[in-house]
Each structure stands twice: as C-alpha cells, then as structure tokens.
Chains A and B, each alone.
Chain A
C-alpha cells in the first residue's frame, strides 16, 4: 500500500459519509471563510512592509517583525490546537493487515500535514521576504530567513499534534491553552516584559547566516520524529478505546426530577455529558470561553465607544451560549447509539427534546450567572448579557435544535479518546455563525437608530416571546423530528 492509495481511500470515506450533505455545506462555508481569510492574508502580506513602516512608524521593518514573530507562533499554536486533527481511529481498519505499523503511523501523520494551515505562513510572508529582505540583503538571505520561520511554523504542527493527544482533553490542557493565550497577548499589552526581543537575534541572524535555518530544520525533523515515536507507541487498539476507569459515583441532579419525564431525560443527558470524555471536553471548553471576555472588556470603553458597545453583544451571546452552541449543534448525534430506543419509547421524542432544552437552559443560566462579575468593566454589560441570555433561551435553543435535525452525524461517544478530535474541528465553529448573525440582524436596526437599549429591548422581547411559546415551539420541533425519524435513525445505524 502506498501513501497515494491511502489518501485515495480517505477521500472516498469523506465523499461517502452519511452526513455528506451537511459536510458539504459546512465545507462550502469553510471554503468561503478560507477564501476570505486567504484574500486578507494576501492583502496583508503584500502590504505588510508598508503597514509596518507607516502605521507603526519604524525604520527597520525586518527587525520589528523578528521581535514579534514569537507572538505569531503563540497564536498559531492556539488556532492549530482547535483546528488540527489526527484521525487515529483509522488505525483499527489497518492494524491487522500486512502493512507495518510504522507505515500506517507515517501515513496518518503525513496526511495531517496536508493542510491549509501549513501554507498560511508562506502566503503571509513571501511578499515581505521578497520586497524587504531580498531587497536589502539579497535573495539568499530571504530564503534563509523565510525558511527558518516556515520550518518553525511546521514544527508547531507536530508539537500541537502531540500536545492535543497528550493533555488536550483534560482540564490541564485547557489551562495551558488559557495560559498561552493570556501570556502571549496580556504580557505584550500590559508591557510587563517583551519576550519577543529575546528571540529576535535568532531570526536576525537567519538573514546573514545559514545557522538558524539549519537549526530549525533539525528541530523540524526532530519534532516529526518525536511525534512519530509518540504515536507509534500508542498505535494500539486499547488506546483507541476509552478504558472504563472514569466511573462517576453519583451525579444525580435532584432539582431536575421536578420536571417529570423530561426531567428524567435531562438528568440522563447530564450523566451522558459527565461520563463521556468527548462531551466533558465540551463542558470544559464552554467554561474556558467564559474567560474569552477578558480579551475584550478590559480594553473596551462602553460609555464612549459605540462600536465597543455593539461588539459586547457578541461577547454576551458567546459567553451565555457557548455550551449551547458547542454541544447543542450535535443535538441528536449524542444519542445516535440509542436513538431507536427513544423512538419506541412512549413520548420518547418529546422527552428527549424537552429534556435537552431544560439542561441547556440550566447550563446557560449557570454561564450567565458566572459572567455577571464582568459588570465591573461597565454596568451596560449587565443589560447586554441579560438580553443575550434571554434571546439564547427563547430563540437560540429552538433554532439550534431545528438546524441540528438536518442530516445529523452518528457519533460513537464511547470511543471518545480519539473521536474526540473528530468533533473539535473547524466545521464545528461554523454553527456559531447563525447563532451570532441572527441576533445582530434584530439588534442593529434598533440599536443604530434608537440607541443600544432599544436593540437590547427588541432582543429581550423576542426572546421572551420564544419562552412564552416554549410549548408550542417544542411541539413544532417534535413534529418535525417525527417526520424525519426514519431518515435520521437509518443514518445512525450506518457508518462503521
């Protein structure tokens, strides 16, 4: 078997997926987003020398860039962490065949390298290298300088793969991510120290000497080899399956039992979340997103800047709804293994939808309450978060439920250790789009003409209407699910 044959098989598995329609739309959106980003990247890259010279008013753009390049790598590590994935679950289809284990691991690793993320840095810096570096020092220096940075970025690729597999889905992983985030931006913003200056000489040297590119090349090869060793050691079936050691004694939430059958289902769903690695990591992720506001609010001037004020709605929607957006978009997929059970149950569909809604409301409420101390940065935040919370409850939940009925993906939550990363990819964040854009469509016309209070009031009113008609809307959703039930349950039964 060759690498090309392997890639061909991977391609087939993509186009024959039962959720192809959904994947295609997601892919199309992603493509648009990517083109959008690419055009920005190219625009930035072409004008980078100019921006640095005139906007930051420095005479030495190369030195300036070299002193900031470390922050670029820190950012890269962050987005790689969320976007990159390695489909280790593929292993079990090949391990018993006469293909050496090392070869399969190499295939998987090299396939992961075919990614837009890895040419981003080239696109971003080639014009700069040609105009500035080659212009002043000659083309050889430009190649050496660019090569050093590109190889460094590619090293981050392998490091991320090991990091994500190693501690990515534990609390410690998220803590480290948060630390990197705060460190790379906070330190710079508050001017505590400038670590960028420390590594600057290394990249300066790359212009005049081949030593740095040689060193990063060695680093790149070593990190690949390290990642290979790491995954090679873990290329066993038992590492793909989660071991049954994370038994949780009693995690009953008593107050849920007040809601009758739906409460029982909500409690069941809670147990599902708490007892599976994959769903747990979504819970951690939404807790992490609570800190997201720290990036914005400290710099915002809500009394003076109306842009800051309008932008705060985004933060509010995001914070109170992050669990809803993350977990809720796979609404039925979480139950794909036992969906048939709900179908044959009396009022099963009704309970599943109501149960999940109750749970979403409860967790959103907790997120909302935790977010209240942000009022410290401006009392307007109280109104913004409240309106966002009510809107998410009244409109966001049914809307997301409705979208999720469309070609849901079956998910094997028991094998989560690996499948974990299947869910946590770029396409997942697409679902955030309608959940953010729609409230803005309602908010902006009022906010821009009559002030932000009017915008928030309209969101709150629409949200309240949604809450008042909760039963009717739920009934509508139940009927829709009933209509699609054969299609959905058959797609859940497929796909090995």
Chain B
C-alpha cells in the first residue's frame, strides 16, 4: 500500500526524519510510537504530501505522492484541527465532504450509521459549530471524516488522545471491522502503548527521526518490547 524510499526531511540542515526504506502492505494496521520529536507527525505529513521531502519518495499504491494526486481518492486522514472547517456544524461539514467525495445521500446515511455508537448522539443534529466543540468531540468529527469515501488507507495522528474511554474502545472496534470487511490499511501514531499494540499488528518505534525497532508478533511481545525500550 505504502512504499517509502530513502525518505529524508531536514529543516535548516537538521535532519528530523530519515527512513531508508519501508513497505506497508495492504490491510496492515501500522502503528507508530516514539517520544516527542521522534518524527511521527512529520512522517504522516510527508506521506500526505503536506510538506516537501528533502530527499526520497513516498508511493501510495505505486504512485509518487508528490507527483500525482489520484491517491487522495483512496486516502483518508485526520492529523489535527486545521483539517476541519471550524465555522460549520458537524452536519454541514459532512455535507461538504459528501459533495467533495461525490457520495449520494444514501452513502452519507450509511456512513453516519457506521459511526452511530462512536458519535453517541453528541455530534449529529447539534446546533453547535465545530470550533465550539470540546477537544474530544472535534476529534470524533475529524476521525469519522477521514473515513469518507471508503478509503483504502487511513492515517490518524494520536487518535486516542483526548477521546473518552468508551470512544477509544469503539474506535478500536471500527478499525478492526474496517480492516476485516474492506481490508483497509491503517497508519496510527500513538503514545498509548496499550491501544496501539492491541489494534496494530506491526509497531514501528521512531526516535529522533530514525527507526529503532520494527516489531511484529503477539500483543504481549510487542508490549513487552516497547516497555523495555521506553523504561530504559
């Protein structure tokens, strides 16, 4: 799904990310962990072509993200608040996305039904602009927005952060269901080792822009490996 080829990002000569090469196969849930400044968000932004790579390339389904844009049709993402339109209500925002993704009303209804328990009656039908929502609710809007248009690939930056416990569990269920039903590929960065080892079969540990570990195996194995690394 994603192929990374000697990707490097530097700001004024300081290298913040350096990944020689890496492949993420279809329907894998790929977890990204690392302390602050490890380069998690930078990597996600580079994959989405939101920032320019200093050198190297990223391919989504064989397409160079910096050279073409058709990969955007199969990719959904939520990295931060700025991806939302704060002056719309969630319903209005979804309506805009429906048009952008060229979906029918029935498609939108279907989508909202999928997220019904995740929304928990706190998102749809509210007379509130997105900018006035709490952090957690903004996140719920953004995460569900990244699933518009049935993407083959979904990138989420710290999706569990600031969600309430119920929503965290529901999000994990949604990710697992999407993976099973539609073999969607996920890339999730997180500080929550518990969640990320549970939902992702592969976890990559970044530090100062470099890959330190690339862990697969049972949940316990991954958790153990990460725990040892971060305690040391």
Contacts and interface: CB of A to CB of B under 8 A. Distances in A.
A9 B132 contact: no
A496 B130 contact: yes
Contacts of A97: 72, 97, 100
A16 B97 contact: no
Contacts of A54: none
Contacts of A98: 69, 72-73, 75, 100-101, 149
Contacts of B79: 96
Nearest to B79: A96
A92 B51 CA distance: 11
Contacts of B195: none
A1 interface: yes
A237 B45 contact: yes
Interface string B80-99: 01111111100010001101
A1 B95 CA distance: 12
A96 B77 contact: yes
Interface string B12-27: 1000000000000000
A337 to B, nearest CB: 14
A95 B96 CA distance: 14
B87 A238 contact: no
Contact of B12 (A1, A5, A101, A245): A245
Contacts of B88: 9, 12
A496 B82 CA distance: 7
A101 B27 CA distance: 27
B58 interface: no
A243 B16 CA distance: 14
Interface string A87-104: 000001101111111000
A96 B48 contact: yes
A60 interface: no
Given A236-B51, A238-B52, A496-B130, A13 B101 contact: no
Nearest to B102: A98
Given A5-B99, A237-B45, A245-B12, A95 B85 contact: no
A2 to B, nearest CB: 9
Interface residues of A, number: 24
B132 A496 contact: no
A175 interface: no
A160 B175 CA distance: 48
B50 interface: yes
B97 A9 contact: no
Interface string A352-374: 00000000000000000000000
Interface residues of B, number: 33
B87 A16 contact: yes
Contact of A93 (B82, B131, B132): B82
A211 B99 CA distance: 44
Contacts of B99: 1, 5
A243 B100 contact: no
Contacts of B59: none
B70 to A, nearest CB: 9
B149 to A, nearest CB: 7
Contacts of A92: 50, 82-83
Interface in A1-42: 1, 5, 9, 12-13, 16-17
Contacts of A487: none
Contact of A496 (B11, B45, B96, B131): B131
A494 B11 contact: no
Interface string B38-56: 0000000100111110000
B72 to A, nearest CB: 4
B129 interface: yes
A256 to B, nearest CB: 32
B86 to A, nearest CB: 3
B100 A99 contact: yes
A100 to B, nearest CB: 5
Interface string A123-158: 000000000000000000000000000000000000
A13 B87 contact: yes
B15 to A, nearest CB: 15
A13 B12 contact: no
Contacts of B52: 236, 238
A495 interface: yes
Contacts of B72: 96-100
Nearest to A15: B87
Given A1-B99, A98-B100, A494-B132, A237 B87 contact: no
Nearest to B48: A96
A489 B49 CA distance: 35
A495 B100 contact: no
A496 B86 contact: yes
A236 B49 CA distance: 8
Nearest to A415: B82
A486 to B, nearest CB: 15
Interface string A151-194: 00000000000000000000000000000000000000000000
A494 to B, nearest CB: 5
Given A245-B12, A496-B130, A1 B100 contact: yes
Interface of A: 1, 5, 9, 12-13, 16-17, 92-93, 95-101, 236-238, 243, 245, 494-496
7 contacts: A9-B96, A93-B83, A95-B48, A98-B69, A100-B69, A245-B12, A494-B131
Given A496-B81, A496-B85, 19 more contacts: A1-B96, A1-B99, A9-B96, A12-B87, A12-B88, A13-B85, A16-B129, A93-B84, A96-B77, A96-B79, A98-B75, A236-B50, A237-B50, A237-B51, A238-B51, A494-B86, A494-B131, A494-B132, A496-B131
- Nearest first, the 7 closest Cβ-Cβ pairs linking A and B are A496-B86, A98-B72, A237-B50, A16-B87, A238-B51, A92-B82, A13-B87
